[in-house]
Amino acid sequence: MRLLQEKLSKYDLPQKAMAAGIYPYFRMIESDQDTEVQINGKKVLMFGSNAYLGLTNHPKVKQAAIEAIEKYGTGCAGSRFLNGTLDLHIQLEKRLAEFVGKEDAIIYSTGFQVNLGVVSCLTGREDYIIWDELDHASIIEGHRLSFSTKLKFKHNDMDSLEKQLQKCEPDKIKLIVIDGVFSMEGDIANLPGIVALAKKYNASIMVDEAHGIGVLGAQGRGTCNHFGVTDDVDLIMGTFSKSFASIGGFIASDKETINYLRHNSRSYIFSASNTPAATAAANAALDIMLSEPERIEKLWELTNYALKGFRDMGCEIGHTSTPIIPLFIRDNDLTFLIVKELFDAGIFVNPVVSPAVAPQDTLIRFSLMATHTKEQLDKALEAIRTIFKKYGLIE
């Protein structure tokens, strides 16, 4: 056996979980992505999706994708830089820039590719990237590729952020990169505090709005809009795989910054462009976001109902105030076991365990869609109540 295979063969954690009957990943869905899905012939309620507005099955979104395939085919056969730019891409970029309040935007093939390609190329060797310790993995991978000095601050801790800013040379670029809504814990970044410090230390700000767009702000414009600090944030990132019911991502900023990224961001230049169907679907989802504000209202009605339900039950849910609700278990194996028992009870939720989080911070990620019903939510709450009581997590 070669050394590489010998080393990798020792990785057996998935096999152990499978042998124990609690392996929770790659569950094969045999239906559309809706509030109820079918897995192995069994219907379960989906509380593990990022489709916050429930648009993956909207007739207008599906029809837009179909029509795009009929007109443009299934792919672009190249990068945006060379032969893969469609009029669809340009139209959507202009709309997205206007939507989030910036001058220009460019579309990447995934949200991960946005953060990878933007964070890695904006700053130089003598500059600084300052990041929240709970930033998304794509941000972390992006700054790993940068030659800049990286400084980590404690989660949402303004004192910690200021201490890191104080370490920076005043005349060098300082880029603060944060999630607007944190994807596992569901809490919202303290953007007013970050903006105040950025002004004090002449720093720039990039906000990942993957879980903020479609959820917060006027007509779902995101965390920056929610706090009224859009003009104070230099770069706004978004993804199509959540509220936009598609796949892809974008970055919006001033024209000069977008021009630089368009010609220097490697994950943009050297990746194939978004498919016509994905682009058209995201565009249609944006139409619905703007024309059906009642969807966001319904999402918040369900969110507040669920938050109250979990708090009344005695669940530990941290500082969340969004449709992402962490149910802390604080034990890897028990998290897997409870996810399995909830699935057996007809409830699909996601486990978040180490190394994604520290072993003492393991949790179940419970997330909501605007298309859930209160009856579905009540069923989930009751199943969680029963199983959490069984394992002594609530009284």
Active site residues: 183, 211, 242
Closest by CA to 222, choosing from 193, 188, 197, 255, is 188
Cα end-to-end distance, the chain, whole Å? 52
Asked if 208 and 224 touch (Cβ cutoff 8 Å), the reply is no
Length of the chain: 395
CB atoms within 10 A of CB 40: 9
Contacts of 352 (CB under 8 A, 6+ apart): 184, 326, 335, 362, 363, 364, 365
Asked if 75 and 275 touch (Cβ cutoff 8 Å), the reply is yes
Q: Rounded to a whole number, what is the largest CA-CA distance in the chain? A: 61
* Kind and range of the H or E run holding 340: helix 332-344
DSSP conformational letter for 33: S
